[in-house]
Structure 1
Amino acid sequence: MPYDFSVTPGPSPLTQAVTVSSTAPRGPRDWRRRYTRVLWITDLLVLIWVVYGTQIAWFGLGNAQLAISNDNRITEISYWVTSAVLIVAWMWTLSLADTRDHRIIGVGSDEYARIARSSLFLFGVIAIIAFLTQIEIARGFLIISLPMGIALLLFSRWLWRQWLVALRKGGQYSARVLLVGSEASVTHLARELQRMPGSGYRVVGACVPSGRVAGTIYGTNIPIMGNVDAVTQALRATEADTVAVTSTDELPPDKVKQISWDLEAGRQHLVLAPSIVDVAGPRIQMRPVAGVPLMHVETPKFSKGQLFLKRAVDIVASALGVLVLSPLLLFLAMSVRLSSQGPVFFRQKRIGLKGREFTMLKFRSMVVNAEDLLEPLAKQERDSGNEVLFKMKNDPRVTPVGRVMRRFSLDELPQLFNVLGGTMSLVGPRPPLPREVAHYASHVHRRFLVKPGITGLWQVSGRSALSWEETVRLDLSYVENWSLLGDLVIVARTARAALAPGDTAH
């Protein structure tokens, strides 16, 4: 039975809490333990398949021996035993690295990064031990096992994550969150968490300073369970297992500490949600000073090494892309040329790195006089409230072939030549038109600190369905928190979005 967020007016927050408790679902609370157990079993099966599969592929089904030199004597150990020891050590290393911790599963890249780092660490230790003890272990056995093991572990975790996210969108396998703080901060966080149910946080109630009886958070159906002194009762009523403190401005000095003391160890958790947003983990450092936890947020910086690495990846990837996709590029060029009058390519002035203009290439997807027809269409968009970014779901200027190319982002492929030329990057903020830049607020110009990209965070987060404010926020978040791993994740998500574009591509 779905959770009923509605409440009946009552004389006190406690009465309201009891009412909600009577309708709250009492599902199993050990989903974290069950999911961790499933991951453990899957990891074990993957490693058994990889390690013993590699052994059989390298040595065959015979009883190959591992030689250990010791005081001019050689001790031989069967590779069947060696493989078992490697599997146990690998599983132990994954556990030590907390790769199955419920705080990282299901969202973000930390789960994948921990798997890769811990696996590389294990094989590094094995190599050092083999060198120091003169163990003659087959290099090919290790060289094949390591990349295959990492790849299959990551793939299995990705499959489980898809399953987990699907369940979380239905309200299952999620932390039940009670928000505590000012009404403004609670409202903001509640909306963000409801917008992304796959993140694993399901808001079931809130405690605000006013403690309005029988009220709900503005714009949502989340009930207010009382004031900030009713947290303990609200936890019991909503069966929440997580308290998220969204602001401390209106809380007594020791209130957060008191809330943490009242939580049940191991089952209930405290989360502090600062007002700062769109800052990636590597830029945040917690440093205790005089018993006070201080959050240090490092300023974004782009070293010469980072810029060189990004440019090198751009050159290699775009060159390979042009080479591999050349038959498709030729087919698309012929389709554009034969389906409508006009040139194959559409050249347009865009604004790039440091606010400089450049010519961006695309396959022509519109009629030749598309620019002449723009003004009346743009007026319709301005009348609908969009003052900066022009986008139209059923643009009458798009040709039939162009509509197909736009849906699957095929019209963007010529921008690989822009990347080779250095005016664009594979991943980056959306390249704006000069007329759009004229409407920019001052902070939006931070988009020009990096090269614009063929794809970006905005494109894999909703594309045309995003509002202007959301597009700007995502682009600035990318600029502030760039990393090579983040680029690889965006490219992977772009490939998936291109193959299954949904309703956001037009």
Structure 2
Amino acid sequence: MEDLKDFEQQQSTYYLYHRIGKRTADIIASFSLLLLCFPLFLVFAAILFCFSGRPILFKQLRTGRNNKPFTIWKFRTMQLTVLESSIHQYEWESEVPQDFVFAKPVNLRITRLGSFYRKYSIDEIPQLWNVLKGDMSFVGPKPEIIEITKHYSWDQKKRLLVKPGITGYAQVNGRSAITHGEKIFHDLYYVKNCSFSLDLKIIFLTLVIVVTGKGAY
């Protein structure tokens, strides 16, 4: 099986875009959107506080580029705030099964307002801060919880060669309604073919999906 280091070297064609062009675009766009969306952020936070109380924000450790953990931020959409690590326990031996589909734990009840926020990706607005910090990009594989990525095979780990994104190729090809194997397939396609034009295509398709609310979890 191809070693991760060798695989990453194959991405040298995209070095300037990943490390310079894409990061520059992420900084400019995330900073601009944080300024523009700040009034909306306050409105959504106030509505959440009125209908669901505290805490307003939800934070959780996720796996980032090169298997490095980082804290992701979202608007809280659940009635009960509990640690994911105490809920998701997996005992896979060699890799995450191809037919695995992430399911919502029964004790993580999504509020009615939370369902609306998730359907239209409002809950992900705080992730603009993650993009500005450099933990994430606008486009990339969806950041996975550590309880799942620790079971990745070498091949599955290749999706961690790029920064996770607010949206990505897998998200516009099924969102939350695809199997883990399908997600890996789409994410590896993105890792191998990442380009400015592909990112623009994904962003455009994401806008369409957000407006329709299709495939929301």
When normalised by structure 1's length, the TM-score is 0.37
* Amino acid in structure 2 at the alignment position of 1:415: Q
Query: Is residue 491 from structure 1 mapped to residue 199 from structure 2 by the alignment?
Result: no
The answer to whether 1:310 aligns with 2:22 is: yes
Question: Please, which runs of 5 or more residues in structure 1 have no aligned partner?
Answer: 1-297, 380-384
Distance 1:386 1:301, change over 3 A: closer
- Note if contact 2:14-2:195 (Cα within 8 Å) is conserved in structure 1: no
Matched with 2:158 is 446
User: Counterpart of 1:465 in 2: which secondary structure?
Assistant: coil
* Conserved? CA contact 2:80–2:108, under 8 Å: no
Q: Superposition pairs for residues 387-398 of structure 1, below 5 Å?
A: 390-392=102-104, 397-398=109-110
Query: In structure 2, the residue corresponding to 1:440 is in which secondary structure?
Result: coil
Q: Secondary structure at the match of 1:349?
A: strand
Residues 450, 372 of structure 1: alpha-carbon distance in 2 compared, 3 angstrom cutoff: closer
Q: Kindly provide the CA deviation profile for residues 110-162 of structure 1, in whole angstroms up to 9, marking residues without a partner as x.
A: xxxxxxxxxxxxxxxxxxxxxxxxxxxxxxxxxxxxxxxxxxxxxxxxxxxxx
What aligned pairs does 1:282-431 form with structure 2 within 5 A after superposition?
Answer: 299-306=10-17, 307-371=19-83, 375=87, 390-392=102-104, 397-431=109-143
Equivalent residue letter for 1:408 = Y
| Contact 2:65–2:160 (8 Å) recurs in 1 | yes
Q: 2:127 and 2:85 mapped to 1: Cα distance?
A: 25
d(CA) in 1 for partners of 2:199, 2:163: 13
* Equivalent residue number for residue 11 of structure 1: none
Q: Is the 8 A contact 2:30 2:129 kept in 1?
A: yes
**What percent identity do the matched residue pairs reach?**
36
Answer yes or no: is 1:472 the counterpart of 2:180.
no
Could you tell me how far apart the structure 1 residues matched to 2:143 and 2:33 are?
20
RMSD between aligned alpha carbons?
A: 2.6
Deviation at 1:484, TM superposition (A): 0.7
2:173 aligned partner: 461
1:386 CA drift (Å): 8.1
Instruction: Report which of the two structures shows the higher radius of gyration computed on alpha carbons.
Output: 1
Looking at structure 2, the residues matched to 351 and 422 of structure 1 have their Cα atoms a distance apart, in angstroms, of 13
- Describe the superposition over 1:6-37 as per-residue Cα deviations: whole angstroms up to 9, x where unpaired: xxxxxxxxxxxxxxxxxxxxxxxxxxxxxxxx
Partner of 1:463: helix, strand, or coil?
coil
Residue 436 of structure 1 aligns to a residue in which SS?
helix
* Cα shift readout 1:50-75 (whole Å, capped 9, x = no counterpart): xxxxxxxxxxxxxxxxxxxxxxxxxx
Give 1:410 deviation, angstroms. 0.8
Query: CA, structure 1 residues 338+355, in 2 after alignment: closer, same or farther (shift >3 Å)?
Result: same
2:216 corresponding residue in structure 1:
505
Unaligned runs of 5+ in 2: 1-8, 91-96
Q: Distance in 1 between matches of 2:58 and 2:13?
A: 33
Query: Does structure 2 retain, via aligned residues, the 8 Å contact 1:429–1:453?
Result: yes
Describe the shift of the 1:370–1:302 C-alpha distance in structure 2 as closer, same or farther (beyond 3 A). farther
Residue by residue over 1:316-371, the C-alpha shift from the partner in whole angstroms, topping out at 9 and shown as x without a partner, is 11112112222221111112222223211111001111111110110111123343
Distance in 2 (CA, whole Å) between partners of 1:333 and 1:317 is 22
In structure 2, what is the Cα distance between the partners aligned to 1:315 and 1:372? 29
Corresponding residue SS for 1:439: coil
**Residues in 2 aligned to 1:416 and 1:397: alpha-carbon distance in whole angstroms:** 25
Superposition pairs for residues 164-203 of structure 1, below 5 Å?
A: none
Change (3 A) 1:452 1:321: same
Q: Report if the CA contact (8 A) 2:99-2:179 is conserved.
A: no
Alignment of 1:81-92 (within 5 A): none
Query: Is residue 388–residue 439 contact of structure 1 (8 Å, CA) maintained in 2?
Result: no
Cα distance in structure 1, aligned partners of 2:116 and 2:13: 38
For residues 5-154 of structure 1, the aligned pairs below 5 Å read none
Runs of 4+ in structure 1 deviating by more than 6 angstroms, as ranges, are: none
Report SS of the residue matched to 2:12: coil
Q: Which has the higher contact order (CA 8 A, sep 6+)?
A: 2
**Contact 2:100/2:179, CA 8 A, preserved across alignment:** no
Q: Secondary structure at the match of 1:464?
A: coil
Check the 8 A contact 2:98/2:182 in 1, yes or no.
no
Change in CA separation of 1:335 and 1:494 when aligned onto 2, cut-off 3 Å: same
Q: Displacement of 1:378 after TM fit?
A: 7.2
* Cα separation, 2, equivalents of 1:369 and 1:393: 12
Distance 2:187 2:84 in 1: 29
Q: Say whether the 8 Å CA contact 2:142–2:168 is kept in structure 1.
A: yes
Q: Match for residue 6 of structure 2? A: none
Specify the SS of the correspondent of 2:176: helix
1:401 CA drift (Å): 1.1
